[in-house]
Amino acid sequence: MKRLIAALLLTATPVMAFDIDAMTDDEQAAFGEAVREYLMANPEVLIESINVLEERRAADAAQNDEVLVQQFEDEIFADGHSWVGGNPDGDLTMVEFIDYRCGVCRQFNDEVQDLVEADGNIRLILKEFPILGQDSEASARFAVAVKQIGGDDAYMKAHDALITLRSSATLEALKQIAGEIGVDPDAVVEAMNSDAVNDVLRSNHQLAQKMSIQGTPTFVIGTELLRGVPQAGLTATVEAIREAQDG
């Protein structure tokens, strides 16, 4: 009988809800023991409940993230300072928050670039988000300074060099990169601590804070906020987002 009562209560709808506080102490103790016995005999019920809870939490988080993208869409997609590549008229925009010293960012850089090139209809935006220490900060400042001084083409060359740089991002290493990509090394180094560069990085960090972004890579693809590299892969994820967007 106890097991039957527990099973009914565990699966009860709101209509069958009850007030446990209305029970006597003995009734509460009996009810607790009945629930315990039922769960011990049917542990799969707990697993099912946990799975449902996680699914609900994931759905709530995804809905909240979609609201964040809508709320800050101008700062995400049209901040006026981030590098924009790929197809500027593409039907889908992919934004990546990157840290040049992030191992995952480095690992998936080629995948991102290959996807954009193969797809041909993706607008790509890169946002420097240095969070891994001094080398991250120096690399981000260098990239932003290069863009401001040398333009978009020079920026992409700097990006490619920084994302594969094996040494520390010392001033000597950064000056060498600047020389190799055809930008005045001294001018870039001087600009790295300028107000213009400070403003870009501050803006990126403030946006990340408002969107609760704490790691890299973080992607915004269309209206979807992806915290990390999607398990299905970027190509499959882009296809799914397009289908949802078209639907």
The CATH number of the domain where 169 resides is what? 3.40.30.10
Q: Same structural domain for residues 44 and 161?
A: no
Q: Same structural domain for residues 239 and 171?
A: yes
Read off the pLDDT of residues 52-82 as tens digits, 9 standing for 90 and up: 656 666 555 556 788 999 999 999 999 999 9
Name the domain boundary from 67, 100, 122.
Answer: 67
Parent domain of 97: 73-246
Q: Same structural domain for residues 111 and 53?
A: no
Q: Same structural domain for residues 80 and 45?
A: no
Q: Same structural domain for residues 162 and 219?
A: yes
Question: 37: phi > 0 → left, psi -120 to 50 → alpha, else beta; which?
Answer: alpha
Which parts of the chain sit beneath pLDDT 70?
1-19, 45-49, 51-63, 247
Question: 93: phi > 0 → left, psi -120 to 50 → alpha, else beta; which?
Answer: beta
Name the domain boundary from 39, 67, 95.
Answer: 67
Read off the pLDDT of residues 190-205 as tens digits, 9 standing for 90 and up: 999 999 999 999 999 9
- Both tokens of residue 221? 């693809």
The number of distinct structural domains making up the chain is 2
* Threshold 0.85, pTM exceeds: no
Q: Contact at 8 Å (CB) between 160 and 130?
A: no
Q: Contact at 8 Å (CB) between 102 and 69?
A: no
Q: Same structural domain for residues 81 and 37?
A: no
